[in-house]
Amino acid sequence: MDQAAARPRMSWPVTLVVLLFAVSALVVAFRGEDEDSARTQSPSSSEKLDLNSLPMSSTKTTIEAAPKDLRPDRVPKGTVVHPKRLVILYDAPDGKPFAKIGPKQFGDTWLPVITRNRDWVQVLLPSRPNGSTGWIRSSQLAEAHSSFLIRVHLGQRTLELFEDNRPVGSWEVAIGAPATPTPVGRTFVLGQIIDDKQPFSPVILPLGSHSDTLDSYGGGPGTVAIHGWTNPSVFGEAVSHGCVRVPDEALALIRTVPIGTPVLVDKN
């Protein structure tokens, strides 16, 4: 992982694997309610469920009970949702509660929708293991749309940005080294960290995925990120601890995509 310097806007020290990982983007603004206002909610049964009994899904947690993403290569349609308050995550529509998620992480939390079923949506989650999903009642969510898609090709060591299915740009990038590979599958832009004093990248875009080989790094949870790099000789190489290092031109464009924008990482 790269040395993570500044993190004044983070609630926990960020040294995202090899400065591991970064977040960008344009945060779509909807106001989330205070967590205390949602201490209990109605689950699928008529009984009240104490949210304190459920683990929190965040970039810092591991929730083994989360359903696995069964279609990690499929491109989501671009719908993103924001919890209006602390909400319950279920393992299926009208299923069993297994966790909760709140309206804030790196700023507002926006999650990509991968499936709909009546008044339920299935979303990708920011917690470990990679590819974790959960079902949320649509009535508890604000909804928006991202017309962007980020694709990372590990074999080619390139990153592509699309808008409305049209290519915006393609760049040679640095990816994870063989011992600390960039994880494959679909994830999303989880947030944005901006610090002009950061020596290697003024913008870090944390993703909803984590290193498969590093449990933590520099006090952080091994969150994967997209960020810049000062030495252009790394582009086209497999040298990071899992993060994707991109040229300045790519970073300037990627930082404008909405939070929740899907990111697909493949082996090609």
Classify 6 as helix, strand or coil: coil
Catalytic annotation present for 243: yes
Let me know: does 151 contact 167? Beta carbons within 8 Å. Answer: no
Beta bridge partners of 62: 128
Q: Which 3 state secondary structure label does DSSP give 40?
A: strand
DSSP string, 151-192: EEETTTTEEEEEETTEEEEEEE-BEE-TTSPPPPEEEEB---
Residue 241 catalytic? no
Q: Which of 82, 210, 241, 243 is catalytic?
A: 243
Contact 211, 20 (CB under 8 A): yes
* Bridge partners of residue 117, in order along the sequence: 120
Which is catalytic among the residues 82, 210, 227, 241?
A: 227
Residue 31 makes CB contacts below 8 A (sequence gap 6+) with: none
Neighbouring residues of 57: CB distance < 8 A, sequence distance ≥ 6: 63, 66, 89, 99, 100, 101, 125, 126, 127, 132, 134
Active site residues: 227, 243
